[in-house]
Amino acid sequence: MMDANSSNTSAELSTETPEDLMPPEDHNSGNGPASPMSLFARLLSIFPCPGDVFEEVAASAPRWANWLVPTLLVAVTSTFLAVASANRPPPPSPSPNALPSDQAAATQPASIPPNWEQVATRVVWLGAFAGPLWSALLLWLIGRFLLRTRFSYFKAVEVASLAGMIVALGAIVNVLLIAASNNPAARPALSLFAKGLPAHSAVRLILDGLNVFHLWATALLALGLSKLAGVSLKESGFWVFGYWLVARLASVILAG
């Protein structure tokens, strides 16, 4: 009788497969796919870990919030920057030995249209919304014709808009810099250390172009393009920074 029971137990054990002997999977463990970031997390993570943000953008469905919310932040902060840059310091008091005509010229306020704030605000908001669309078009063209890859244009819009968070931060820092230096022309660029240069000199314009936040945003565009196109950062950065350099040189030449 014991031999029969032993044989039945052995038969049951022999029918178990290796999969049956494995412990059940823990679906709550950290080895599974990470949950998607919230919009707030993406906006904050673009500063310390932009690669993770762009990887999620490339792998997930399009989200309009990735374009709209950062663009609104850029528009608002750029409006504050435009107002701060337009507030010129009061003119110096004329010398007692100055001619009357010189005194009148020194005390006469600059001719500024009464509705300049409305015009400036409209221009700033138009530029804030057109900027990521133009940057996305450049990324898409570089990816399509130079890197020989295909990705959605709206994916490029999301990348360009999220990179705009750097522009928004730069505008806030620029406003604080203007308030601290009492200089509406102050910029977080190398021109900050060249105060004696004329405003429209070629050297001053070049130094203005070396803006810390603009370079940072350009680097994020190159990183986002590498994630969308599946190429190395070195390859995408060559084309993105190449366009940036040509655009800066063209602006200096046209301004001169």
Q: List, for residues 92-142, the tens digit of each pLDDT value.
A: 444 444 444 343 334 344 455 667 788 889 999 999 999 999 999 999 999
Tally the domains of the chain.
Answer: 1
Q: What is the rounded average pLDDT of the residues 29-47?
A: 80
User: Rounded CA gap, 160 and 173, in Å?
Assistant: 20
Q: What is the rounded average pLDDT of the residues 179-204?
A: 89
The residue with greater pLDDT, 158 or 194, is 158
74 touches 164 (CB < 8 A): yes
The residue with greater pLDDT, 100 or 48, is 48
In a domain, 59, yes or no: yes
In a domain, 4, yes or no: no
Q: What is the rounded average pLDDT of the residues 215-233?
A: 98
Q: CA angle 168-172-139, nearest 5°?
A: 20
pLDDT at 104: 36
In a domain, 97, yes or no: no
Q: What is the rounded average pLDDT of the residues 68-96?
A: 80
pLDDT at 96: 46
User: Rounded CA gap, 79 and 195, in Å?
Assistant: 25
User: Rounded CA gap, 65 and 140, in Å?
Assistant: 20
Q: In the chain, pLDDT over 90 holds for what percent of residues?
A: 64
Q: Sorting pLDDT into bands at 50, 70 and 90, what band is 162?
A: very high
In a domain, 8, yes or no: no
